[in-house]
Structure 1
Amino acid sequence: MEKLMRWGGSNKNLSLSLPDGNTKIISPKNCQSVEMYFNSKKMAKAIGRLAEKTPEVGETVSGLLVKEGFTYQIMAPDDLHVFSQLSTANVTQRITIPYSGAFGVIKHRLKQIYESVESSTDEESEVPTIRVHDRVAVKQESEKHISLHWTSDPVSDMVLDSIVALVLNISREIPKVVVESEAMKTEEENGKKAEKVIHALLVSLFGDVKFGENGKLVISVDGNVAHLDKQSGDVDSGNEGLKERVRAAFQRIQSVVKPIPLSAS
């Protein structure tokens, strides 16, 4: 290490008295600042469990770096209370999310993302629980909300964030499914009602109207028979007069029962 000295006499005489060559002599003026640089290597000693095994060249050593004064020590987290006055603690967090869907849907979606998804029952609260990689526990607290429990660390936090996003997406999809199913059910009911009305009106016009094969209606008038296809509106009959009457009547009934919807302006 270079030695920096301030000397009030002759630099030449001082250099002659210190011929080792490692001494650098400066003579600053009064009130002039002098910067001195000290290069020293910092060394940390592995103690406790980390010192039981000698690491290979290039192997990463993971532990806690503890500084006390000018000394550094690397130790395992479990040895912290042994070699210092410090101690470690785990922070367990809990979050509650509104969810009114089936609890099995969450498990099904989680299995599509994570390899380790296990179902169990919580020992304390006795509620259905899903554990994801033994890091995050999803509990069905009630029919309207679920709770997520995890020990805080970078990996568990990322898993938790993905589960929260998944549950929120499921919650947004549930109303759509309900609305679509209700719309399909309403449309089906309206279709059945329309068929009943069409059949009743045809009976009032022609009298003998029966259900035939392939969903067709068989209309008999004075010994003449006409077959009406309710889907396409086609009429098949050997009597042209009856054929035209049935076709015209069906078109008028269709326009009343199933009018053309007005287009949005």
Structure 2
Amino acid sequence: MAKTIGKMAEKTPSVCETVNGLLDKKGFTYQIMAPEDLHVFSQLSTGNIIQRITIPYFGAFAVIKYRLKQIYESVESLTDEELGVSTLLAYNGVTVKQESENFLSLHWTADPISDMVSDSVVALVLNASREMRKMVVDSEPVVNEEEDTKKAEKIVYALLIFLFVDVKYREDGKLVINIYGNVAQLDKESRKVKSENEGLKERVKMAFRRIRSAVKPMGQF
């Protein structure tokens, strides 16, 4: 048995409602509390790690915005008042800034979800840069297409897990997505989705189409 305390105890959860918090054990007593209450009910404190990365990019910022919207439904346009630069907020966690004509910067608070989102944004920006270089340079660039394809597959798989949680590979290479007992099978080669649940089928099909169009390396994936 665990007791909720602090802000967690202000509202009684309904039946089957998920409760998220920190579990604190003192002897044989268990308590669940909100992260911001940790310093109140214990001698511990929490802290955040702010991540920042700079990516070379010479194209239009609108291209990145368009591609981000293909993957994430929540993409918000902002303006950095201090720097006066174009800014995007992806999935309420990762900030993308065009700090100059030569590079973009990403800022986010480290956590499993934001780290995954930031990885996908980095891959998206690098792929966009590479595709634009192919349009303006006649000579063929040196690209390891096999390695890029493997990286793209890993990113697609990670994004599918981010969206649907329970995603597993079958022996034949197909992906099985399970949501509360509703199962969908995704064939990445044919891009076909099979499921008895039409809603899940269309959701998986749309998600894979968006992810693929934004993450594919040089059109090879």
Verify: 1:76 aligned to 2:34, yes or no.
yes
The amino acid of 1:67's aligned partner reads: K
Give the distance between the partners of 1:57 and 1:104, measured in 2 at CA: 45
Give the distance between the partners of 2:52 and 2:39, measured in 1 at CA: 27
For residue 137 of structure 1, the aligned residue among 78, 89, 95 is 95
Instruction: Give the match for residue 166 of structure 1.
Output: 124
Give the distance between the partners of 1:117 and 1:56, measured in 2 at CA: 32
- Cα 1:116–1:44 shift into 2, 3 Å: closer
| Number of matched pairs | 138
For residue 101 of structure 1, the aligned residue among 59, 62, 83 is 59
Instruction: Give the match for residue 127 of structure 1.
Output: 85
Which secondary structure does the structure 2 equivalent of 1:124 belong to?
coil
Verify: 1:62 aligned to 2:25, yes or no.
no
Instruction: Give the match for residue 212 of structure 2.
Output: none
For residue 157 of structure 1, the aligned residue among 115, 137, 147 is 115
Which secondary structure does the structure 2 equivalent of 1:157 belong to?
helix
TM-score (norm 2): 0.57
Give the distance between the partners of 1:169 and 1:88, measured in 2 at CA: 36
The amino acid of 1:151's aligned partner reads: T
> Identical aligned pairs, as a percentage?
72
Instruction: Give the match for residue 47 of structure 2.
Output: 89
The amino acid of 2:71's aligned partner reads: I
Instruction: Give the match for residue 50 of structure 1.
Output: 8
Which secondary structure does the structure 2 equivalent of 1:112 belong to?
helix
Which secondary structure does the structure 2 equivalent of 1:97 belong to?
strand
- Spell out structure 1 runs of 4+ moving beyond 4 A: none
Q: Which deviates further from its counterpart, 115-124 or 155-164?
A: 115-124
Q: How does 1:105-254 map to 2 (within 5 A)?
A: 105-179=63-137
The amino acid of 1:134's aligned partner reads: N
Give the distance between the partners of 1:172 and 1:159, measured in 2 at CA: 20
- Cα 1:62–1:117 shift into 2, 3 Å: closer
Which secondary structure does the structure 2 equivalent of 1:158 belong to?
helix
Using the TM superposition, give the Cα deviation of residue 59 of structure 1 relative to its aligned residue in structure 2, in angstroms. 3.0
Q: How does 1:6-25 map to 2 (within 5 A)?
A: none
The amino acid of 1:99's aligned partner reads: Y
Give the distance between the partners of 1:57 and 1:120, measured in 2 at CA: 39
Which secondary structure does the structure 1 equivalent of 2:137 belong to?
helix
The amino acid of 2:110's aligned partner reads: S
> 1 or 2 for the larger relative contact order (CA 8 Å, sep ≥6)?
2
Instruction: Provide the aligned C-alpha RMSD in A.
Output: 1.7
